[in-house]
Homo-oligomer: A and B are copies of this chain.
Amino acid sequence: MSEKIYIGVDLGGTAIKVGICDEEGHLLHTYEGPTETEKGPDAIVNNIERYVRLIVEQSPFDWEQVAGVGAGVAGFTNVREGIIILAPNVGLRDLHIRKILEERLGKPIKIDNDANVAALGEAWGGAGKGIDNCVCYTLGTGVGGGIIINGSIYQGFSGLAGELGHMSVVPDLEAIQCGCGQMGCLETVSSATGIIRMAKDAVARGDRTSLAQVENIMAKDVFDAAKAGDEAAVRIVNRAAFYIGKSLAAVAVVLNPEIFIIGGGVSKAGDILFDEIRSVCAKLTPEPVLKGLKIVPAMLGNDAGMVGAAGLFIRS
């Protein structure tokens, strides 16, 4: 066993997930431990180092086979310098993580933000395997995005390419303000947060809906109600899907991708969401651009971050 292996680290606010990938993007071993955010930056870095060494020790591979360690971080990163600028949920700021980990581990280190890394994971070892150009949406608490061009993450001028949650898609009359300061961002309607808000609004204004019986509404409750035929819930799901479809259509004429990959918790709603997204996108996209275009669910789920982080060495 002398082939190279790549380690992917998914650094989140609660857990650090570490995985070993081979050169084809197969995730071979994983380990998960607590981040221990409350103990501060030093403890977090110690944990990363410890989990990385531990997973290699527990695997049939030797430390010498480790060709690089990549990390995906929920927050703003300076990819070129290897700095975590701000990761609020992890409690890190201005941390030169590449330099620190290179010294501790003696291996090349690369970092990127979680949405980009998840996109790369799906493109390398998931739903986009074998496809060089794809656009990924992650529908979670917010809406994240990542653009893969010629197999690598496309960063743009200042590392902000693929901020798909902040496309302004909702018309002025219906728009609410987004956390980013703009009005009508995709994220305000098509994230879990947006779906929950619309459901609470429906209950508050007295719409006839089974959601009125739910105590602490989650996005999954809305999808379950919609699947059971609740009209208010169907309207909410269709509205979330409509604006995703509208955003896909805009991105389609700009980038002419072969595939859109849609992941994140909200995407688990399945056909009820995807059927509507596909139908709206088909309606709003010129036929030549639509031809051959695929809109598919993400495949790797929570593993996408680990796979993509490992993939930073192969594909970027």
> Contact residues of A with B, CB < 8 Å?
133, 147, 149, 154-164, 166-168, 171, 180-182, 246, 249-251, 253-258, 284-289, 291-293
Chain B residues near A168 (CB-CB < 8 A): 246, 249-250, 284
Interface CB pairs A-B, < 8 A, 16:
A147-B255, A157-B256, A157-B292, A158-B256, A160-B288, A162-B254, A164-B253, A166-B253, A167-B250, A167-B254, A180-B287, A181-B287, A182-B284, A250-B250, A251-B254, A254-B255
From residue A221, how far is it (CB to closest CB) to chain B in Å? 30
Inter-chain pairs besides A162-B256, A250-B254, 14 sampled, C-beta below 8 Å: A154-B255, A157-B292, A158-B256, A158-B291, A158-B292, A161-B254, A163-B289, A164-B254, A167-B250, A167-B254, A168-B250, A181-B287, A182-B284, A182-B285
The answer to whether B180 and A256 touch across the interface, beta carbons within 8 angstroms, is no
| Main secondary structure on A side of the interface with B | loop
Complex contact B158–A286 (CB within 8 A): no
A96 → chain B, closest Cβ, in Å?
Answer: 21
Q: Is the CB of B167 within 8 A of A253?
A: yes
Q: Which of B256, B284, B286 contacts A159 (CB 8 A)?
A: B256
Query: Is the Cβ of A286 less than 8 Å from the Cβ of B166?
Result: yes
Q: Which residues of B contact A166 (CB under 8 A)?
A: 253, 286, 289
Whether B255 lies near A161 (C-beta < 8 A) is yes
CB distance from A294 to the nearest CB of B (A): 10
- CA gap between A249 and B181 in the complex, in Å: 14
A286-B182 in contact given A133-B156, A133-B157, A258-B157 (Cβ < 8 Å) = yes
The residue in chain B whose Cβ has the minimal distance to the Cβ of A285 is B182
Residue from B147, B157, B180 in contact with A286 in the complex, judged by beta carbons closer than 8 Å? B180
Contact of A161 among B160, B163, B181, B256 (CB under 8 A): B256
Tell me the minimal C-beta distance from A151 to chain B in angstroms: 13
Rounded to whole Å, the gap between the CB of A238 and the closest CB of chain B is 16
Minimum CB–CB distance for A156 against chain B, Å? 3
